[in-house]
Amino acid sequence: MEDEPLNTPADIVTLEQINSMGQPEFVESLGGIFEHSPWVAEGAYSERPFESVQQLHDTMVETARKADRSQVLALLRAHPDLATRLQVTPLSAAEQQGAGLDRLTPEEFKQLTELNAAYTGKFQFPFILAVRGKNKDDIINAIRERVDRSLQEEWDQALQEIGKITRFRLEDLLAEE
Establish if 38 belongs to a structural domain.
yes
Which member of 57, 79, 136, 169 is catalytic?
79
DSSP 11: G
Establish if 27 belongs to a structural domain.
yes
Q: What is the mean pLDDT of residues 138-161?
A: 96
Q: Are the C-beta atoms of 101 and 131 separated by less than 8 Å?
A: yes
pLDDT class of 9 with cuts at 50, 70, 90: very low
Read off the pLDDT of residues 74-120 as tens digits, 9 standing for 90 and up.
Answer: 999 999 877 654 444 556 545 555 556 777 788 888 888 899 999 99
Mean pLDDT of the chain: 86
User: Could you list the residue range(s) of the whole structural domain that residue 100 is in?
Assistant: 9-175
Establish if 1 belongs to a structural domain.
no
Nearest Cα to Cα of residue 116 among 100, 129, 103, 134: 129
Q: What is the mean pLDDT of residues 137-162?
A: 96
Establish if 86 belongs to a structural domain.
yes
Establish if 3 belongs to a structural domain.
no
Establish if 2 belongs to a structural domain.
no
Q: What is the mean pLDDT of residues 66-78?
A: 96
pTM of the model: 0.83
Q: What's the total number of domains in the chain?
A: 1
* Residue 57 is a catalytic residue: no
CA distance 152 to 73: 12
Using CA of residue 25, residue 31, residue 36, residue 37, what is the dihedral sign? negative
CATH number of the domain enclosing 49: 1.10.3330.10
Q: Kindly tell me if the per-residue pLDDT of 148 is higher than 70.
A: yes
